[in-house]
Amino acid sequence: MISAQNLSKQYFGHVIFDRVSFGLSPRERIGLIGRNGHGKTTLFRLLIGEEKYDEGTIKIPKDYRIGYLNQHICFTKPTILEEGCCGLQESEKEEEWKVKKILSGLGFSEDDFCRSPSEFSGGYQIRLNLAKVLVSEPNLLLLDEPTNFLDIISIRWLTNFLNSWQNEIMIISHDRSFMDTVTTHIMGIHRSKIKKIRGTTKDYYERIAQEEEIYEKERLNEEKKRRQAEQFINTFRAKARHASLVQSRIKTLEKQEVNTKLDKIPTLSFSFGSAPFRAKCVQEAHNIAFSYNGKPPYLFHNLDLTLESRDRVCIIGRNGKGKTTLLKLLAGGLSPLEGEITNHPQTKIGYYEQANTATLNDTLTIEEEVSLSNSYLERKKVRDICGAMMFSGDHALKKIKVLSGGEKCRVLFGKILVTPTNLLLLDEPTHHLDLQSCDSMIEAISSFEGAVVMVTHNEYILHKIANKLIVFQDDKAFLFYGGYAKFLDQIGWDDQESITFGKKSVKTQEKPQKAINQKGVRKARAALFTKRSKILTPYKKKIEKIERSIHELEQQLHNDTESLIKASYEKDGNRITALSQSMKEIKNNIDNLYEEMEVITERYEQEKMRFEQEEASL
């Protein structure tokens, strides 16, 4: 459908893409990943023609429509519903029910439809932009961080919506579980190149790590051979009887491509300093209640919480229900209307408030701002922490006023890192982070020796971290003892809550159903299920067989890699050569199998879609 060939792009001499090529096939759902600043959003802008590439070509079919989630806010209509209807195609201008369904799924209430977009927060305005893109039903959806500002219910609704999407999708997201659930392929931007594989983010990172490990071992082996050849040349250059051999070695070296050592890619490095704490409980809250107008209805009431020294508590629920407010209460920024919150005398709080970048002093440098949090810290330690936040060297001397929103958030993290704490209060700390940085954050939180209370909508993080939950649901907040998987099993989310309005709109207002013979439908569905199983099962078995073959080859490649390391230590040149050739053949076989699997999988998806359409028509 879309193909890019030999694409190159630079900004002021900095290479973003270096002759990259990729393709997008029908119904592919691609997760675009890469570190912040490595070109993900730039690639989207190239695809929609908002930016120009330096070299190469991008081929897009005629009349192929691309819908792009734009973070820029520009509304022209007086109400939410009218603005949402701007996304409808000309032939569907009267089909308001589609817009209402999507707006409901994204967290807008029926009462919100008549309100002005200007009355809503920036997060809800981004949701409105997302709704306009979704209702336009383009051939390709380009979604840049679509889960930003969405709560868990809306993310789950969006996941279901996108999984039923019939066209192509490319998504940038820091939410790994969302991306892995929605996409069929991962396309990564790495070292100014693009690599696309079928599978999950985990599959992609494992593949990259394996390839770079093999590259480095081969580079070292080639470097050793080059040194040996140069030693031979230097030793026998002056001896006439070895002249032909010397010349042969010289020509071989001249033709041989030199593999350079891979540069280390900067990454965020989190390590929260722990203040000593020997007691059991760092903080307790008893029967607390709060509302901003000082009277009922409360955002929450009768809430009890005991934070133990190694607790990992995640606050979850819909937006606007009081999660951030509760965190401010625990941090001491607000006082409860009822009840009390008490800290242990040794409690030291580190509070990250994602929307609090305005507290930074624009006239200071990054180094100066970070050091304000701990004036006793020596300069080298401050610079080390600046480096851990990816402000190494002279970058630490940048003024706060020239930083982007994401960079300012990293400065806020730096200010927490310089101060030892034993209670971390974090409000959506992964909001501006890429996937690798999110992994670093998870690791840092897991190894932190104090307690952590965190607001997050990222279900991957919830599964990894939480041992307790504070749940905002059904207009109340309660403490749940257990991890997120246990919560889903015992209580769970009412996912239908987010799409009920749309379903009612479809059934009762816009698309009344004809009376049908339910018995006949059940028989037809049973027959269709049998036919579906008969046709789809062989495809699934072929795919499983190929996956087993790939797994066996990857295991063989792993074994050969270990053998190559051993042969390198033993200086066994013949063994190294044989293993290198074997590994090259294995990699070719793996690539061929992936290509074969993509063809079969595409046929499987086409047949599956056909059956889904038949079932929907019953």
Task: Kindly write down the DSSP assignment for every residue of 554-593, as one continuous string.
Answer: HHHHHHHHHHHHHHHHHT-HHHHHHHHHHHHHHHHHHHHH
Kindly report, residue by residue over 118-131, the tens digit of the pLDDT: 888 777 888 899 99
pTM, 2 dp:
0.71
- Would the pLDDT of 522 be above 90? no
Is the same domain home to 450 and 593? no
The whole-number average pLDDT for the span 169-195 is 94
What pLDDT is recorded for position 387?
Answer: 84
Compute the residue count for the chain: 618
Any domain includes 489: no
What pLDDT is recorded for position 464?
Answer: 93
Strands 55-59 and 300-308, by their bridges, are: unpaired
The whole-number average pLDDT for the span 27-49 is 92
Share of the chain above pLDDT 90, in %: 42
> Which tokens hold the place of 123?
């997060």
What pLDDT is recorded for position 519?
Answer: 44
- Would the pLDDT of 222 be above 80? yes
**CA 576, chain centre distance (Å):** 39
What pLDDT is recorded for position 501?
Answer: 31
Kindly report, residue by residue over 527-573, the tens digit of the pLDDT: 565 576 678 778 877 887 887 888 888 888 888 888 888 888 888 88
What pLDDT is recorded for position 345?
Answer: 93
Q: How confident is the model at residue 615 (pLDDT cuts 50, 70, 90)?
A: low
What pLDDT is recorded for position 206?
Answer: 93
Beta strands in 257-311 (DSSP E): 281-290, 300-308
* Final residue of a structural domain among 169, 189, 205: 205
- Contacts with 472 (C-beta within 8 Å, 6 or more apart), sequence order: 300, 315, 316, 317, 318, 321, 322, 323
Kindly report, residue by residue over 358-377, the tens digit of the pLDDT: 788 999 999 999 888 887 78
Alpha-helical runs (H) found in 106-200? 122-135, 152-163, 176-182
Is the same domain home to 301 and 326? yes
What pLDDT is recorded for position 5?
Answer: 94
Is the same domain home to 376 and 329? no
Under 8 Å between Cβ of 140 and 169? yes
How far is 32 from 546, CA to CA, in rounded Å?
A: 25
What pLDDT is recorded for position 243?
Answer: 78
Q: How many CA within 13 A on the CB side of residue 384? A: 9
What pLDDT is recorded for position 452?
Answer: 96
Is the same domain home to 305 and 380? no
Q: Domain limits at 409?
A: 356-420
Any domain includes 227: no
Is the same domain home to 84 and 153? yes
Is the same domain home to 150 and 15? yes
Is the same domain home to 426 and 415? no
| DSSP secondary structure string for all residues of 420-455 | -BSEEEEESTTTT--HHHHHHHHHHHHH-SSEEEEE
Residue 291 DSSP class: -
Under 8 Å between Cβ of 427 and 353? yes
Q: How confident is the model at residue 616 (pLDDT cuts 50, 70, 90)?
A: low
Ramachandran sector of residue 39 (left: φ over 0; alpha: ψ -120 to 50; beta: rest): left
What pLDDT is recorded for position 520?
Answer: 57
* Final residue of a structural domain among 150, 171, 205: 205
Count of domains for the chain: 4
* Final residue of a structural domain among 205, 230, 255: 205
- Would the pLDDT of 518 be above 70? no
Any domain includes 97: yes
Q: How confident is the model at residue 525 (pLDDT cuts 50, 70, 90)?
A: low
Q: Mean pLDDT across the chain, nearest whole number?
A: 85
Q: How confident is the model at residue 46 (pLDDT cuts 50, 70, 90)?
A: very high
What pLDDT is recorded for position 199?
Answer: 92
Is the same domain home to 27 and 128? yes
CATH number of the structural domain spanning residue 476: 3.40.50.300
What pLDDT is recorded for position 517?
Answer: 47
Taking the CA atoms of the chain, what radius of gyration do you get in angstroms?
A: 29
The CA–CA distances, whole Å, from 170 to 47, 119, 141, 461 equal 11, 31, 6, 23
Top mean-pLDDT range of 38-52, 248-262, 370-384 = 38-52
What pLDDT is recorded for position 47?
Answer: 95
Is the same domain home to 332 and 383? no
Q: How confident is the model at residue 451 (pLDDT cuts 50, 70, 90)?
A: very high
What pLDDT is recorded for position 469?
Answer: 95
Is the same domain home to 151 and 20? yes
Q: How confident is the model at residue 617 (pLDDT cuts 50, 70, 90)?
A: low
> Which tokens hold the place of 278?
């020997």
Is the same domain home to 55 and 194? yes
What pLDDT is recorded for position 190?
Answer: 93
Any domain includes 493: no
What pLDDT is recorded for position 268?
Answer: 72
Q: In this structure, which amino acid lies at residue 82? A: E
Kindly report, residue by residue over 92-118, the tens digit of the pLDDT: 888 899 999 999 989 898 999 999 998
> Do you find a cis peptide bond into 420, omega within 30 degrees of 0?
no
How far is 425 from 341, CA to CA, in rounded Å?
A: 15
For residue 544, count CB atoms less than 10 angstroms from its CB and return exposed for 0-12, middle for 13-18, buried for 19 or more. Answer: exposed
Any domain includes 179: yes
Is the same domain home to 164 and 200? yes
Any domain includes 515: no
What pLDDT is recorded for position 496?
Answer: 42
Any domain includes 266: no
How far is 33 from 491, CA to CA, in rounded Å?
A: 33
- Would the pLDDT of 53 be above 80? yes
Kindly report, residue by residue over 599-609, the tens digit of the pLDDT: 888 888 788 77
The whole-number average pLDDT for the span 474-495 is 86
What pLDDT is recorded for position 514?
Answer: 34
Any domain includes 519: no
